[in-house]
Amino acid sequence: MGCSNSAFCQFSAVSDSEESDASSSSLPGRLNINDATVAELVSLPGIGRKKAENIVAYREEHGRFESLDDLAAVPGFCRRGVDKVADMVTLDDSGDESGCLASCCYAGAEACGSSCCAPCTGGCWCLTPFSWGDTDEAIFFPDDASGSGLARLLEVLDSARRTLDIAVFSISYKPLAEALVRAHRRGVMVRILSDDMQAKQQNSAVPDLIREGLQLRLDVSEKFHMHHKFVISDDATLISGSLNWTHAAVERGNENVVISRRSALCRRFALEFERVWAAFQDGNVAKAPPAEFDGNVAALFFPESQMQNVGLILTELQGARSSIEIAIFTLTLDTLTDTLLKKHQQGLRVRIITDNRQAAVPGADAQRLHQAGLEVRTDKSWYAMHHKFAVIDKQTLINGSFNWTAQATKGNQEDAIIFRWAASHERLPKVAGLVWERHKADAAG
């Protein structure tokens, strides 16, 4: 299935050729279906947008295609459809071995013995969880060989006694879906919000959850998504971050969750769940309320119409004094991008890590930032660099489901949390710096 690694891994510098030809292969004129975007796939004969989306979704869930025959397993495809495109596509991944090799290890982490990088080095390096105070802990994926990250999530789900409110974009990973069924069977009130398009995927757990009698509501928009990724257990524990409940996210992708026991955050997210739960029943698209800080934490929700919540993120960026470190799946929101450019021009160190495929889509700002002199790197894996966080001056963390895009701001159901500390936060920026330095050699090329 190719090579994946831990959070923050698989980065190399963006080059002009990588940006302009993100899905190139050694076979001229052929489209590499292992990294082609939806926009590129629709150019193939007989593949409309729906089939293209199914190809990308299947690839993200199951990993790279090992043969063209694998295409026949994609919803909407048949053998005839595979034959029609066989001469126009390739699976080629030549030239990626060195990138894969460099991605599997980095300084400052602990060896985990996972098999995720076995094709490259026989092992990988995994970012270890960490906590701050008594209320918050960060967990990173892909999971280690012992499955400690998954075990921690299951511990929260299995300990619920009264209520579990789940708002997750994509639910197909069996161990997590089964935990919801267990909770329902022991009398916990389980309510689920999810995305309608993801629920229609062949491997979705949503139909099984409905058959088990769990309460579940889906969005009704064809254009926007229920993109939240949070859980509230017994109104006392919050799980939030970038993690979808899929095999690719838990075992392969670069992801994170923060488990928080802050009562203020739990209350804010509980209100957001109720807002969306009611909206989906009525079929409306109610906007999220304006956010504000409660002490040193603010919970931001979307969509919004007045840009007040994204304005809080903008304010944090504008107030940066020394550094901004960003790991973001997709970056197209010019309001935020222009601020990054200004801070760079003011002499601040601005470093950005983004997903290689998303860096090549129309409207992506990665290349513009790179050309302006900012430090920009993309991952080199078959799986997503799916984080959505920023670390500002080593003492402010912004994290959640929120991609920096107009759709996330004005259309999707999204969330983000701003955490502030009075002094430099030791762990997260340190890890980001270690990973960046470990891949300095890649950037030089």
Look up 439 and say whether it is catalytic.
no
The overall pTM is greater than 0.85: no
Q: Which of these is catalytic: 51, 227, 370, 380?
A: 227
Dump pLDDT digits (tens) for 172-230. Answer: 999 999 999 999 999 999 999 999 999 998 889 999 999 999 999 999 888 899 999 99
Are 138 and 201 members of one domain?
A: yes
Are 436 and 311 members of one domain?
A: yes
Mean pLDDT of the chain: 81
Q: Which of 55, 71, 90 is a domain's end point?
A: 90
Compute φ and ψ for 51, nearest 5 degrees: -65, -40
Note down the domain range covering 49: 26-90
Q: Which of 90, 110, 140 is a domain's end point?
A: 90
Question: What CATH number is attached to the domain comprising 63?
Answer: 1.10.150.280
Are 76 and 216 members of one domain?
A: no
Lowest mean pLDDT of 16-20, 54-58, 337-341, 377-381, name the range. Answer: 16-20
Look up 227 and say whether it is catalytic.
yes
Q: Does 153 have pLDDT greater than 50?
A: yes
Are 359 and 218 members of one domain?
A: yes
Burial label, 139 (beta-carbon count in 10 A; 0-12, 13-18, 19+): buried
Cα dihedral 330, 331, 332, 333 sign: positive
What mean pLDDT is predicted for residues 276-284? 87
Are 67 and 109 members of one domain?
A: no
Look up 83 and say whether it is catalytic.
no
- Of the spans 63-72, 121-130, 301-310, 435-444, which averages the highest pLDDT? 301-310
Are 217 and 359 members of one domain?
A: yes
Structural tokens at position 280: 């989906």
- pLDDT at residue 7, rounded to an integer: 31
Are 270 and 367 members of one domain?
A: yes
In a domain, 8, yes or no: no
Count Cβ neighbours within 10 Å for each residue of 388-420 and write b for 16 or more, e otherwise.
Answer: bbbbbbbbbbbbbbbbbbebbbebbbbbbbbbb
Q: Does 11 have pLDDT greater than 60?
A: no
Are 102 and 35 members of one domain?
A: no
What mean pLDDT is predicted for residues 408-416? 96
> How close are the terminal C-alpha atoms of the chain, in Å?
26
Burial label, 167 (beta-carbon count in 10 A; 0-12, 13-18, 19+): buried
In a domain, 10, yes or no: no
Tracing tokens 């996210």 back to the chain, one arrives at 249
Dump pLDDT digits (tens) for 90-142. Answer: 876 443 333 333 333 333 334 444 433 433 333 344 567 778 888 999 998 88
Are 247 and 378 members of one domain?
A: yes
Are 114 and 80 members of one domain?
A: no
In a domain, 33, yes or no: yes
Q: Which of these is catalytic: 92, 196, 208, 234?
A: 234
**CA angle, residues 295, 298, 302, in degrees to nearest 5:** 160
Q: Which of these is catalytic: 62, 228, 229, 344?
A: 229
Compute φ and ψ for 125, nearest 5 degrees: -125, 135
- How far apart CA 127 and CA 369 sit, in angstroms, is 28
Are 66 and 105 members of one domain?
A: no
Are 133 and 110 members of one domain?
A: yes
- How far apart CA 270 and CA 283 sit, in angstroms, is 20
CB distance 414 to 242 below 8 Å: no
Q: Which of 67, 90, 113 is a domain's end point?
A: 90
Number of folded domains in the chain?
A: 2
The DSSP call for residue 69 is G
